[in-house]
Amino acid sequence: MSIRKPLPHDSAPLHVTGRARYVDDIPVPAGCLHLAFGLSDVARGVITRADLSAVRRAPEVVDVLKPIDLPGDNDISATAHDEPLLAMGEVFYHGQPIFLVVAESHRAARKAARLGKITIDPRSAILTIDDALAAGSHFEGGPITWEDGDVEAAIAAAPHRLEGEIEIGGQEHFYLEGHAALALPLDDGAMLVHSSTQHPSEIQHKVANALGVPMHKVRVETRRMGGGFGGKESQGNALAIACAVAAARTGRPCKMRYDRDDDMVITGKRHDFRIRYRVGYDDSGRLLGVDFTHHVRCGWSADLSLPVADRAMLHAANAYDIPAMRIESHRLRTHTASATAFRGFGGPQGMLGIERVMDHVAHALGKDPAELRRLNFHSADPARPTRTHYGQKVEDFALHEMVPALLERAGYEARKQAVARWNAENPVLKRGLGFNPVQFGISFTLSHLNQAGALVHIYQDGSVHLNHGGTEMGQGLNQKVAQVAASVLGVGLESVQITATDTAKVPNTSATAASSGSDLNGMAVRAACDKLKGRLTRFLANHWGVKPARVSFEGGEVHAGRKHMPFAEAARLAYEARISLSATGFYRTPKLSWDREAGRGRPFYYFAYGVALTEVAVDTLTGEYRILRTDLLHDAGASLNPALDIGQVEGAYVQGAGWLTTEELVWDGAGRLMTHAPSTYKIPACADRPDIFNVTLWEGENREPTIFRSKAVGEPPLMLGISAFLALSGAISACGSAYPALDAPATPERVLAAIRRVQA
Amino acid sequence: MDIAFLLNGETVKLRGVEATRTLLDWLREERGLTGTKEGCNEGDCGACSVLVADAGGVRAQNACLLLLGQLDGRAVTTVEGLSGPAGELHPVQQALVEKHGSQCGFCTPGIAVALAGTHLKGATDYDQRLAGNLCRCTGYAPIIRAAEAAAKAPVPDWFAPGKGAPEGIGSAPKSVDDLAAEIMRRPHATLIAGNTDVGLWLNKQLRELDDVIFLSEVAELRQHVADSEGLHIGACVTIETLRGLLAGPHPHFAAMLARFASAQVRAAATVGGNIANGSPIGDTPPPLIALGARLYLRRGEARRVIALEDYFLEYGRQDRQAGEFIEGLTIPAQPDNLRVYKNSKRFDQDISAVLGAFNIAVEDGKVQSARIAFGGMAGIPKRAEAVERALIGKPWTRESVAEAQAAFMRDFAPIDDMRASAAYRLQVAQAMLERVWLEGEGVATDVREVQP
């Protein structure tokens, strides 16, 4: 069995030699054209004149497209049909594409794109949360509110109350491979599109609409992405559509890739939030009622903002059983790039809100932060489960066991004492510990997306061709799914050929998102392999004259008692006996029922859990800091591949810690993004990882019958990074008696401001 | 221009190439060597790292900031050149596979190249060597595990970057005199040394530079000499070389330079370039000013010497005439009192919000002299003269420091930008002075020294 083995990423030998091909590496036929967008330099205004004559005259320019030149739908939106490929009459953010240049080279296209003379009559732009609140600029007409219990009464009756607010910055994905697409016009009006996308079916759908052709005329292929993190769930639509439209017009292959600065300016990022809280609690630290207000800066179009804001609400209680809870969620439309999916999809922001509350209450009561959290956990008794604030029974709660396991392994009690001693002895450098649990719901909250398909062929030599609807962005999905196929068919992994995601092989797929890749596609592949195995079993039972139940597949052979033959031989015989050796597989997640309007139901099939403890040191002179040590314990169920899962946990933690520390997005007063390159936007570098970094997987299995009882692992560990933020808060607390009320990202500047507050 | 260089062991001769084309574009678009990736096209991500070898040794550099015109007579090894003749993986490649050092794989070629260069030198300061290679997937831990695992393996016999590099065939000036004459003939030509700044004009501003003079062949400009007068440094000494030169005389300056950009950029960027471009946030001018460095300027046969601080006139304007260039500088010999502090959002490979350099001499408890200079606090690298005055002659006490801290307001009116607010910059500048004093008192203030 190849499942459970810590195998390297299937493409690792290609990665390290530079042979792994990304969209921009695909050899193109002669005559390939290159595209670039001309961008708005105003955040909001009316286009009064678009003089593109200099663009047309520029060297190597073949074509310049305005909205009127588009053959079909001028829309790239993932959801609401509110996002034109090229601005029509009005612009809504700085960096919005206005026209499209088609040229003989990438550089020529980029140069020409800067020559457009676009006259824009500026209008007052809504840029900030405060601007949007003042203007009443909401999606969905106003805030969405969910209430569970009587919050006002609970807070009023509580022995203690406090309130506060936290600003939570957004986050740039900074996938190392920027967005890219390549369209190859075929005969018969069809189009083949290579796209760096998490969602090939959506690319297919949007390209078909843009060309005004049925979906069957468009085939989208995605071999791999150089990172996605949610940033390639919807944001690749523009490039793919632009390439397809230009290819259809010129009859030539067309390629587009964003320069890094363009990528950062044009595409959406993680939503920034402001969260207000009012909380009532008792002497022990038990929360009795919490009232949250989420202000979500969504940008200019809907994109995925509404489900992102929903997921923030769904994770607003994290792992805690809070008797009364109310969440008012304002989805604010602003004239900035449309915020989009990013690993965790709103969950991290919602979770940081309640972790902030816990930190604040622990500070007020002088209680141990880990103890306070445990006190508020969901029920330890699976027979008497508590319910979340949206009414889902928590039946698989693992944190009562995981927390002590982590704290003991990390030497928490002794280190708490050591930190206190250090802080008493050191006037300038302060240490802090931060602890947080994670309970993350697994499933798309738009229930119909929880489906997947697969296509598996066995060739007559016994080799297996594997295809499924999921996309590979570095997470090792293909390897995990290949391990599933090899295990089910009882063959070695080398017999299974992983192939590019292809809308012509598996149709109507969901985005590889919501951590669902291996859960959904693993099950679909298993279903296909089970079908094939069933056919071979019946055939061989007949062939050997044994009962089907005696036929088994193992070690590259098929067995029935003392009879056995190589899998390849079985495949050949089955072929000659005219048995179909190709099968599709399909899976839909069971048990889901979710009423989004009411905020009630079971949106999640199960939960994934994690626990983190981080220690930091802070320089109180300037607010600079370092992560000294991190201990993580994460629940990946019965892991399909522990090496890949640990890789996800380590990487997600560092990305989560980066979000809350050095990764600061700055816009100027005119709505221009000032941090649009790695020179100014600082993701963690090598030395920013913790000096000591202990990552362990929890030995458990999924209570639900997921693929070999594993759990989804892409997003949940990102929120383990919250512990780094809490550790900073802890270190700052050592500077005085006031609560630090730290905002995120906790840049050295914000840390110093909090230190000064605490010292005041 | 014409160039000859070695590419993965094969001699390449190019006639009449566009000298300002980047190696990255040429590799990918002309040679089909797509293993070298474009991640940012500005030298900040390292996905395009290649090894460059010449008489100065083997070093990782960013192919996006290397121009064809800089390659004449050198050897380039890309990720495709790491493996053996039969496709055997280099030990760092093998270890990256086994230790799960790649996820999406896009940064991986650059990391493999940087690690192969590190492995070749037998170096183990991985955090330093990889500071310029961003990875967004792994959190770096498995990459370091791979580096440590590979360290045990010998350098494979096939791996000898630089061996067999051809003689250069280009026409770039070879001596300072030739250079001086060439610049007089073409006074408006752009001088290109390390191309870490000019590269951004090309890649980001999309400027076309038709008139350029490459400094890469002028060996004299890379020379350095220490004598009783001080340390004499040629304008094209790289930041990495400078770091080594300063380790003895001014170790705190050298330590700060470990945070100057990344290994790839330090290997390319030059001291002269860092001064010549007049940036208010270059990291070498403030400490050089604090040390009283003198700058040598040359125009044709005419030479002049000025105090480095006088070179910076105002934002965007320097004391350099058409046809004039920086030949070198001298750091006067002196006892080492220099403390240099860099403040940025991220420790490594970040542009300073504030860079403070303090050259304060205390005798018998009194401040005898103080030269204090800052980057990031004004439109130019600038002395904190009011602060210096507030200190000189005063007892070196917390009270004097507190009084001098107030003088920063008179010296500087910094700006708000994406790196820091004006208020924070002032607070940091003041805190840096306090740090000098606290360090003298033996108080631990360096967060980078705290052990877990």
Tens digits of per-residue pLDDT, A343-393?
999 999 999 999 999 999 999 999 999 999 999 999 988 889 999 999 999
Contact residues on chain B for A653, CB-CB shorter than 8 A: 139
Q: Least CA distance to A115: which residue of chain B?
A: B206
Best mutation target among B128, B136, B424, B437 (most A Cβ atoms within 10 Å) is B136
pLDDT above 80 for B129: yes
Q: Least CA distance to A15: which residue of chain B?
A: B105
Q: Contact A680/B45, CB-based, under 8 Å?
A: no
Contact residues on chain B for A260, CB-CB shorter than 8 A: 39-42, 45
Contact yes or no for A184/A32 (Cβ under 8 A): no
Q: Chain A 576-635, CB below 8 Å of chain B: which residues?
A: 615, 617-619, 621-622, 624-626, 628-629
Kindly report, residue by residue over B322-365, the tens digit of the pLDDT.
Answer: 999 999 999 999 999 999 999 999 999 999 999 999 999 999 99
CA A755, CA A619: separation in Å to the nearest integer? 10
Confidence band of A98 (pLDDT split at 50, 70, 90) = very high
- What does B231-254 look like in DSSP terms, one character per residue? EEEETT-BHHHHHHHHTTT-HHHH
Chain A nearest-CA distance from B400, in A, is 18
Q: Least CA distance to A11: which residue of chain B?
A: B105
Select from A474, A666, A689 the Cβ nearest to the Cβ of B140: A689
CA A217, CA A213: separation in Å to the nearest integer? 6
Q: Which among B214, B158, B165, B189 has a CA at the least distance from the CA of B10? A: B165
Select from A17, A626, A650 the Cβ nearest to the Cβ of B450: A626
Q: Does B143 touch chain A (CB under 8 A)?
A: yes
Q: Does B417 touch chain A (CB under 8 A)?
A: yes
Percent of chain A with pLDDT strictly greater than 90: 98
Q: Contact A12/B102, CB-based, under 8 Å?
A: yes
Q: Chain A 510-549, CB below 8 Å of chain B: which residues?
A: none
pLDDT above 80 for A535: yes
Q: Which among B319, B299, B16, B272 has a CA at the least distance from the CA of B179? A: B299
The reported pLDDT for the residue numbered A1 is 76
User: What is the Cβ-side half-sphere exposure of residue A731, based on CA atoms within 13 angstroms?
Assistant: 34
Q: Least CA distance to B136: which residue of chain A?
A: A175
Kindly report, residue by residue over A262-305, the tens digit of the pLDDT.
Answer: 999 999 999 999 999 999 999 999 999 999 999 999 999 999 99
CA A717, CA A736: separation in Å to the nearest integer? 32
CA A661, CA A352: separation in Å to the nearest integer? 13
Alpha-helix runs per DSSP H in A516-634: 517-544, 567-576
CA B132 to the chain's CA centroid: 11
Best mutation target among A5, A7, A14, A16 (most B Cβ atoms within 10 Å) is A16
pLDDT higher for A381 or A204?
Answer: A204
Which pTM value belongs to this model?
A: 0.98
Kindly report, residue by residue over A444-494, the tens digit of the pLDDT.
Answer: 999 999 999 999 999 999 999 999 999 999 999 999 999 999 999 999 999
pLDDT above 80 for A248: yes
Q: Which amino acid is at A57?
A: R
Confidence band of A717 (pLDDT split at 50, 70, 90) = very high
ipTM > 0.85 for the complex: yes
Burial of A271 (0-12, 13-18, 19+ CB in 10 A): buried
Chain A nearest-CA distance from B59, in A, is 19
Cα A51 to Cα A71, A99, A322, B239, distances in angstroms: 21, 11, 59, 46
Kindly report, residue by residue over A146-186, the tens digit of the pLDDT.
Answer: 999 999 999 999 999 999 999 999 999 999 999 999 999 99
Q: Contact A428/B112, CB-based, under 8 Å?
A: no
Contact yes or no for A522/A511 (Cβ under 8 A): no
Chain A nearest-CA distance from B181, in A, is 34
Q: Least CA distance to B206: which residue of chain A?
A: A111
Q: Which among A494, A439, A484 has a CA at the least distance from the CA of A710? A: A484
Count of CB atoms within 10 A of residue A371's CB?
A: 14
Q: Contact A621/B435, CB-based, under 8 Å?
A: yes
The per-residue pLDDT of chain A, averaged, comes to 97
End-to-end CA distance of chain B: 54
Q: Which among A627, A656, A260, A270 has a CA at the least distance from the CA of A438? A: A656
Q: Which amino acid is at B146?
A: A
Match 């019965």 to its residue by tokens.
Answer: A638
Contact residues on chain A for B452, CB-CB shorter than 8 A: 615, 628-629, 690-692
Q: Chain A 225-264, CB below 8 Å of chain B: which residues?
A: 225-229, 259-261
> Torsion-angle region of residue B333: left (phi > 0), alpha (psi -120 to 50) or beta?
beta
Chain B nearest-CA distance from A122, in A, is 24
Select from A227, A428, A476 the Cβ nearest to the Cβ of B136: A227
E strands, A22-96, where? 33-39, 45-51, 61-65, 90-91
Burial of A42 (0-12, 13-18, 19+ CB in 10 A): buried
Tokens coding A567: 């899998």
pLDDT above 90 for B84: yes
Strand partners, A633: A611, A696
The reported pLDDT for the residue numbered A382 is 84
Angle formed by the axes of helices B108-121 and B91-98, nearest 10°: 130
Burial of A380 (0-12, 13-18, 19+ CB in 10 A): middle
Match 């107030």 to its residue by tokens.
Answer: B406
The reported pLDDT for the residue numbered A732 is 98
CA A307, CA A340: separation in Å to the nearest integer? 10
3 state DSSP class of B437: helix
CA A284, CA A303: separation in Å to the nearest integer? 43
DSSP assigned state of A32: -
End-to-end CA distance of chain A: 62
Q: Does B102 touch chain A (CB under 8 A)?
A: yes
Q: Does A18 touch chain B (CB under 8 A)?
A: yes
Contact yes or no for A168/A272 (Cβ under 8 A): yes
Q: Does B246 touch chain A (CB under 8 A)?
A: no
Q: Which amino acid is at A384?
A: R
Count of CB atoms within 10 A of residue B406's CB?
A: 12
Q: Contact A686/B141, CB-based, under 8 Å?
A: no
Q: Contact B97/A747, CB-based, under 8 Å?
A: no
Select from B42, B108, B134 the Cβ nearest to the Cβ of A685: B134
Strand-pair category, A144-148 with B382-383: unpaired
Q: Least CA distance to A642: which residue of chain B?
A: B100
Q: Contact B452/A692, CB-based, under 8 Å?
A: yes
Match 């595990």 to its residue by tokens.
Answer: B145
Chain A nearest-CA distance from B102, in A, is 6
The reported pLDDT for the residue numbered A507 is 98
3 state DSSP class of A268: coil
Q: Does A114 touch chain B (CB under 8 A)?
A: yes
3-state helix, strand, coil in chain A (%, to 5): 35, 25, 40
Q: Does B64 touch chain A (CB under 8 A)?
A: no
Give the residue numbers of A marked as catalytic.
715
Q: Before A745, cis peptide (omega within 30)? A: yes
- What does B37-87 look like in DSSP terms, one character per residue? --SSSSSSS-TTEEEEEETTEEEEEEGGG-BGGG-TT-EEE-GGGSS-TT-
Cβ partners under 8 Å of residue B57, min gap 6? none
CA A450, CA A443: separation in Å to the nearest integer? 7
Burial of A160 (0-12, 13-18, 19+ CB in 10 A): middle
CA B52, CA B138: separation in Å to the nearest integer? 27
Select from A431, A683, A691 the Cβ nearest to the Cβ of B134: A683
Q: Does A460 touch chain B (CB under 8 A)?
A: no
Q: Contact A111/B206, CB-based, under 8 Å?
A: yes
Count of CB atoms within 10 A of residue A631's CB?
A: 25
- What does A543-567 look like in DSSP terms, one character per residue? HHT--GGGEEEETTEEEETTEEEEH
Q: Contact B34/A24, CB-based, under 8 Å?
A: yes
pLDDT above 90 for A597: no
Strand-pair category, A254-257 with A33-39: parallel
Q: Chain B 193-232, CB below 8 Å of chain A: which residues?
A: 204, 206
Q: Does A59 touch chain B (CB under 8 A)?
A: no
The per-residue pLDDT of chain B, averaged, comes to 97
CA A42, CA A116: separation in Å to the nearest integer? 14
CA A485, CA B432: separation in Å to the nearest integer? 60
CA A682, CA A663: separation in Å to the nearest integer? 5
> Torsion-angle region of residue A227: left (phi > 0), alpha (psi -120 to 50) or beta?
left
The reported pLDDT for the residue numbered B390 is 98
Q: Contact B103/A474, CB-based, under 8 Å?
A: yes
- What does A628-678 look like in DSSP terms, one character per residue? EEEEEEE--BS-S-HHHHHHHHHHHHHHHHHHHTT----B-TTS-BS--ST
Q: Number of CB pairs < 8 Å for A and B? A: 271
Chain B nearest-CA distance from A115, in A, is 12
Contact residues on chain A for B446, CB-CB shorter than 8 A: 429, 619
Burial of B227 (0-12, 13-18, 19+ CB in 10 A): exposed
User: What is the Cβ-side half-sphere exposure of residue A250, based on CA atoms within 13 angstroms?
Assistant: 26
